[in-house]
Structure 1
Amino acid sequence: MTKYRLNRLFNPRSGRALDVAVDHGAFHEHAFLAGIEDMPATVATLIDAGPDAIQLTLGQAPLLQSAPGKDKPGLVLRTDIANVYNSPLESPLHSVHVPDAIEVAVRLDAVAVCVNLLDLPGHPEVREQCIRSILALRTDAERYGMPLMIEPLVMQTNSDKGGYTVDGDTRKIVTLVRQARELGADLIKADPTDDIGDYHLVVQAAAGTPVLVRGGGRVDDRTLLERTQAVLAQGARGIVYGRNVIQHPHPAGITAALMAVVHDDATVDDALALIGGEG
């Protein structure tokens, strides 16, 4: 039954997906709210732009699911809350999941749920919390036929601003992606590697589980589209981008450009033309 919901996530023609993440408000970091201060307007804009899915929290998901019509984007429901992005960091660090998240996801007609698998230097207890959350969610996900997207995030200390940033070390990402696969992920949302040419190793570690590539912080449009093209060529099944869409001056335009690359194998220049140039 799990695979049935994924039929509403992946485009039937390309077999790929674009999921726009708008769950940033759950992480209690003011900087993450840029571009999504007005959530009803943000979600309405994205519905019109038409990505394959929008990733939301249980508090904001009704903004999507209350919209009429059967052709709106699917819902990917964020199921956990963490405080690892704050600057300065809070103490103690934590990652906790919504206890009835899978039942909530079923009631909200989600196509999948998303949960972190965090690897933080010096804080193995946070990864343990994530593993316990994943195992608890996995039990209910199996029962209700709800696809479980695990988000393995290898982090490194941010010496300039405090807190943590993404670590793009291929070996570390591959190791954590492999653990996500061993924990029973139906989908894996993983960061790009520093050497983008290594990304096939991440796909290999997922061992047939679809890999969707995480977007991270804002980059210029050409860089974003070139990176997207590169990871798709190495076997990624799609992308999960947040700030590169919601903080873009033209969210609908960049969505159209990304959809063209993901589903139609458009060239970067052709995709750029859909948004009128580089941002």
Structure 2
Amino acid sequence: MSQFRLNRLFNASSGKALDVAVDHGFFGESSFITGIEDMDAVVATLVRANPDAVQLTLGQARILQRIPGKQKPALVLRTDVANVYGDPLDSHIFSHHVPNAIEEAVRLDAVAVCANLMHLPGRPEIRESNILSIMALREQATRFGMPLMIEPLVMQDNANAGGGYMVDGDTDKIVTLVRQAKELGADLIKADPTDNIADYSKVIAVAGDVPVLVRGGGRVDDRTLLERTVAVLDQGASGIVYGRNVIQHPKPAGITSALMAVLHASASVDDALDIIEGSAA
């Protein structure tokens, strides 16, 4: 039954999806909410831009779902919260899921829920917490036919990375964690790009029949973002989950339109850049 909801996530013609993540406030880091302080305005902008989905938290999802009409982005619901992004890290770190997350997702008419699977060097208790959350969510997701998106996140040592999204793009580490997500019963996988983008076919292969959506990570220039998007799609990715590269863009509607053209109409990088250039701020 989970396929019924996924039919509202993926474009019927291309089979691809753009999910714009705006769940950053959940993690309690002040720098994460730059540019998204006014969530009503952010969601309104995204609804006008019309990506395939918007990823929100329990407390913000109603902003999207109370908007009338059928022609709006689908909801992906973030289900877990952690304090692993601080610099320095807190002495006690944690990761917890919302106990009734799946029932809340059903009530909110979400098309999927999202949960982390983090590898943080020297802190195996975080991955253990994530696995316990995923197993609990998997049981309820199966019961209610709710697709479960697992987000394998390979992180650098905080002391070396300087806080924030401490992504480690090592291919072997990403492949290993993606495979664990597959083994834990993911319906969707949201994975980081590899440092060597030509390796991404290995990530797709190890995920098997589970669709892989590629994370955007930190802000990059438009050409870099679009070239990376084309590269991962060419290797078999089923879509993208971009946050700051959309919501912190000076033309969020323009970059959304450009990404949608790449995903659903196989637009070239140069054509997509023209779309951004011709869009309103």
1:201-260 alpha-carbon deviations (Å, 9 max, x no partner)? 000010110000000000000000000000000000000000000000010000000000
In 2, the alpha carbon distance for the partners of 1:188 and 1:207 equals 11
Instruction: Tell me the TM-score normalized by structure 1.
Output: 0.98
Structure 2 residue matching 1:55: 3-state secondary structure: strand
For structure 2, the residue ranges without an aligned partner over 5 or more in a row are: none
Check the 8 A contact 2:150/2:189 in 1, yes or no: yes
Check the 8 A contact 2:56/2:78 in 1, yes or no: yes
Instruction: Tell me the TM-score normalized by structure 2.
Output: 0.97
Check the 8 A contact 2:165/2:218 in 1, yes or no: no
In 2, the alpha carbon distance for the partners of 1:35 and 1:236 equals 28
Give the letter for the 1:235 counterpart: G
In 2, the alpha carbon distance for the partners of 1:32 and 1:177 equals 25
Q: Cα–Cα, structure 1 residues 94 and 38, in superposed 2: closer, same or farther, change >3 Å?
A: same
In 2, the alpha carbon distance for the partners of 1:179 and 1:20 equals 25
Deviation of the 1:161 alpha carbon: 2.4
Q: Percent identity?
A: 72
- Quote the residue 1:168 is aligned against: 169
Structure 1 residue matching 2:134: 3-state secondary structure: helix
Check the 8 A contact 1:157/1:163 in 2, yes or no: no
In 2, the alpha carbon distance for the partners of 1:208 and 1:91 equals 39
1:120-159 alignment to 2 at 5 Å? 120-158=120-158, 159=160
Q: Cα–Cα, structure 1 residues 164 and 66, in superposed 2: closer, same or farther, change >3 Å?
A: closer
- Quote the residue 1:210 is aligned against: 211
- Quote the residue 2:195 is aligned against: 194
In 2, the alpha carbon distance for the partners of 1:249 and 1:24 equals 19
Runs of 4+ in 1 over 2 A off after TM superposition: 158-164
The CA RMSD measured in Å over matched residues stands at: 1.3
In 2, the alpha carbon distance for the partners of 1:202 and 1:94 equals 27
Structure 1 residue matching 2:175: 3-state secondary structure: helix
In 1, the alpha carbon distance for the partners of 2:37 and 2:252 equals 14
- Quote the residue 2:55 is aligned against: 55
In 2, the alpha carbon distance for the partners of 1:130 and 1:28 equals 18
In 2, the alpha carbon distance for the partners of 1:91 and 1:187 equals 33
Q: Which moved more, 1:154-163 or 1:94-103?
A: 154-163
Structure 2 residue matching 1:156: 3-state secondary structure: coil
Give the letter for the 1:82 counterpart: A
In 1, the alpha carbon distance for the partners of 2:19 and 2:104 equals 20
Check the 8 A contact 2:165/2:217 in 1, yes or no: no
1:131-180 alpha-carbon deviations (Å, 9 max, x no partner)? 00000000000000000000000000242624661000000000000000
Aligned length: 279
Structure 1 residue matching 2:156: 3-state secondary structure: strand
Give the letter for the 1:267 counterpart: S
- Quote the residue 1:21 is aligned against: 21
